[in-house]
């Protein structure tokens, strides 16, 4: 999607996460010079297949697998430094050279051991309001950021300031842990010792991501901004409170790396040809019983971060129209089409009804979304393998017809169709999408 007029592209999930953003970013990184993550933390699990090798990235942008690409973690990301160091080591032992290729914003906040402890304690005490978080300390880390008591990478230059912030953080966390009747307590010195282990590495990678990106663009570079999670997990536009704690949508991309929104040229929304969700909260087109089991099995739908089974459902065009509106999507990438190859019938939700009336817009209330009934269109399955298709014309007519409907109901042009996890298993469509083909 890069061209002379497209220099900065945002890639966002347009459902509930795990849409295949990692694969798309990896494919697009071929044409990029810098790839930057703008939000989220190690709650993400982005899987990239390169040849026979599979890499699962939690913090490092998926562009890292292309040699020479510079990869940045922006100020909007919350960085668990021990997970980061482990991930860097994991890549190094598999022959990925990181020298000079990774940068961390000095303004990025750290996820500390007490954030994980608080995440677990809140979840365990939440009863029916349990979010089903990934347990990576994300909510508590963003809470400290917004409450103006977080520890940023840049703070590590000052040992006194680091100690002060950690002391206050530990005291506050222990008070909450006690109130929530857990036995776990955090120790200031243990946290400071653990920070000392990674301090040199973090400061060695510290940079101003905004400045780097602006300079990169000014000198003719091409930038990919990689989103984590999905639009329906956005703190404002998602299915609150069953969301993550950051702005996952494209509006957060500029703020999350330190550039102005006027530098962003296009926003690519990644969707599966069906839907999945991990954790709790409404999922209007959710399948159950044997049908759910079958789709989960066909799509290998188990979380890349926690291993939890994902909840499968049919493609939901209401969700994607909502995601399109809040992101300003200019194109869609549809992934995992091949997963539907063996099905007799494929359903596509075109809209919702609530209490017998058509629903206009997208419900802001999770309780309402639990009550809506999707209006389904039924498509006959193509019952042919699509994995080897490389061009639009190679796809079976029934698959093309399904994708045409998906594009029409989503109201966004489809520019990529992915038919397998590998790079080459990708069909590219012209600007204007499917409507511009036959």
By the criterion CB under 6 A, which residues form the site for ligand IMO? Answer: 13, 17-18, 43-46, 131-134, 136, 138-139, 228-230, 233, 244-245, 278-279, 304
Tracing tokens 């990692």 back to the chain, one arrives at 22
Omega before residue 241 within 30° of 0, cis: yes
DSSP-based three-state secondary structure for 307: coil
29: left (phi over 0), alpha (psi -120 to 50) or beta: alpha
Query: Whole-angstrom Cα distance, residue 32 to residue 381?
Result: 37
Site string for ligand GDP, 290-309 (x = CB under 6 A): --------------x-----
Query: Whole-angstrom Cα distance, residue 76 to residue 56?
Result: 21
For the chain, the straight-line distance linking the first and the last C-alpha, in angstroms and rounded, comes to 21
> If contact means CB under 5 to 8 A according to the sort of partner, which of ligand GDP, Mg ion, ligand IMO, none does residue 348 touch?
none
Q: Which is nearer to Mg ion, 18 or 265 (CB)?
A: 18
> If contact means CB under 5 to 8 A according to the sort of partner, which of Mg ion, ligand IMO, ligand GDP, none does residue 419 touch?
ligand GDP
> If contact means CB under 5 to 8 A according to the sort of partner, which of Mg ion, ligand GDP, ligand IMO, none does residue 90 touch?
none
Tell the smallest beta-carbon distance from residue 312 to ligand IMO (Å).
Answer: 13
9 forms bridges with which residues in the sheet? 224, 266
Query: Whole-angstrom Cα distance, residue 112 to residue 246?
Result: 17
> If contact means CB under 5 to 8 A according to the sort of partner, which of ligand IMO, Mg ion, ligand GDP, none does residue 285 touch?
none
> If contact means CB under 5 to 8 A according to the sort of partner, which of Mg ion, ligand GDP, ligand IMO, none does residue 212 touch?
none
Q: Check 46, 109, 115, 379 and give the catalytic one.
A: 46
Tell the smallest beta-carbon distance from residue 40 to ligand IMO (Å).
Answer: 6
Q: Which is nearer to ligand IMO, 139 or 150 (CB)?
A: 139
Among 18, 26, 144, 266, binds ligand GDP (CB under 6 A): 18
> If contact means CB under 5 to 8 A according to the sort of partner, which of Mg ion, ligand IMO, ligand GDP, none does residue 413 touch?
none
Among 7, 16, 18, 234, binds Mg ion (CB under 5 A): 18
Residue nearest ligand IMO by beta-carbon distance: 279
Dihedral of CA 375/380/383/384: which sign? negative
Tell the smallest beta-carbon distance from residue 389 to ligand GDP (Å).
Answer: 11
Is residue 46 part of the annotated active site? The answer reads yes
269 forms bridges with which residues in the sheet? 12, 332
| Radius of gyration of the chain from its Cα atoms, rounded to whole angstroms | 22
Among 91, 419, 427, 429, binds ligand GDP (CB under 6 A): 419
Pairing of strands 102-105, 70-73: parallel
> If contact means CB under 5 to 8 A according to the sort of partner, which of ligand IMO, Mg ion, ligand GDP, none does residue 109 touch?
none
The conformation of residue 65, written as its DSSP 8-state character, comes to G
Pairing of strands 70-73, 223-226: unpaired
Assigned token pair, 423: 């790079």
Nearest to 421 by CA among 53, 92, 69: 53
Subset of 329-388 contacting ligand GDP (CB under 6 A): 335-336, 338-339
Largest CA distance in the chain: 66
Cβ contacts of residue 219 below 8 Å, gap of 6+?
none
Residue 301 binding Mg ion, by CB under 5 A: no
Residue 418 binding ligand GDP, by CB under 6 A: yes
Q: Check 18, 80, 144, 338 and give the catalytic one.
A: 18
Nearest to 378 by CA among 407, 357, 349: 349
Tell the smallest beta-carbon distance from residue 356 to ligand GDP (Å).
Answer: 36
C-alpha count within 13 angstroms, C-beta hemisphere, residue 269 = 32
Is residue 297 part of the annotated active site? The answer reads no
Q: Which is nearer to Mg ion, 173 or 253 (CB)?
A: 253
Give the catalytic positions in this structure.
Answer: 18, 46
Q: What residue ranges bind ligand GDP (CB under 6 A)?
A: 13, 17-23, 45-47, 49, 304, 335-336, 338-339, 418-421
């Amino acid at each position: 999607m890069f061209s002379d007029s497209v220099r900065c592209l945002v890639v966002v999930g347009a459902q509930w996460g795990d849409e295949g953003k990692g694969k798309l970013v990896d494919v697009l990184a071929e044409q990029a010079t810098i790839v930057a993550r703008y939000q989220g933390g190690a709650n993400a699990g982005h899987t990239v297949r390169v040849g026979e090798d599979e890499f699962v990235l939690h913090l490092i942008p998926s562009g890292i697998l292309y040699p020479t690409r510079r990869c940045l973690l922006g100020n909007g990301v919350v960085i668990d430094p021990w997970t980061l160091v482990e991930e860097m080591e994991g890549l190094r032992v598999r022959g990925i050279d990181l020298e000079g290729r990774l940068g961390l914003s000095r303004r990025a906040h750290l996820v500390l051991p007490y954030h994980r402890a608080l995440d677990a304690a809140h979840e365990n005490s939440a009863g029916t309001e349990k979010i089903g978080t990934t347990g990576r300390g994300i909510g508590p880390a963003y809470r400290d950021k917004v409450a103006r008591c977080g520890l940023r990478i840049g703070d590590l230059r000052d040992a006194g300031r680091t100690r002060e912030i950690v002391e206050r953080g530990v005291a506050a966390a222990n008070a909450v842990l006690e109130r929530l009747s857990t036995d776990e307590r955090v120790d200031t010195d243990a946290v400071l010792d653990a920070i000392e282990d990674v301090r040199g590495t973090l400061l060695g990678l510290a940079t101003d991501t905004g400045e780097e990106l602006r300079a990169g663009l000014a000198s003719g570079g091409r930038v990919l901004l990689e989103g984590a999670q999905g639009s329906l997990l956005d703190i404002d536009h998602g299915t609150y409170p069953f969301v993550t704690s950051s702005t996952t949508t494209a509006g957060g991309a500029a703020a999350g790396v330190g550039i102005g929104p006027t530098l962003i040229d296009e926003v690519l929304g990644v969707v599966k040809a069906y839907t999945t969700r991990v954790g709790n909260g409404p999922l209007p087109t959710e399948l159950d019983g044997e049908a759910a089991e079958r789709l989960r099995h066909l799509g290998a739908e188990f979380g890349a971060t926690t291993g939890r089974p994902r909840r499968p459902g049919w493609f939901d065009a209401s969700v994607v129209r909502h995601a399109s509106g809040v992101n300003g999507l200019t194109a869609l990438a549809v992934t995992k089409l091949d997963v539907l190859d063996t099905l007799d019938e494929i359903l596509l939700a075109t809209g919702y009804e609530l209490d017998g009336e058509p629903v206009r817009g997208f419900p802001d209330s999770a309780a309402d979304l639990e009550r809506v009934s999707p209006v389904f269109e039924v498509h006959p399955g193509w019952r042919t393998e699509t994995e080897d298709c490389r061009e639009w014309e190679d796809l079976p007519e029934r698959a093309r017809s399904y994708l045409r409907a998906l594009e029409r109901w989503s109201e966004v042009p489809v520019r990529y169709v992915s038919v397998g996890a590998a790079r080459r298993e990708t069909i590219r469509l012209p600007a204007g999408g499917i409507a511009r083909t036959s």
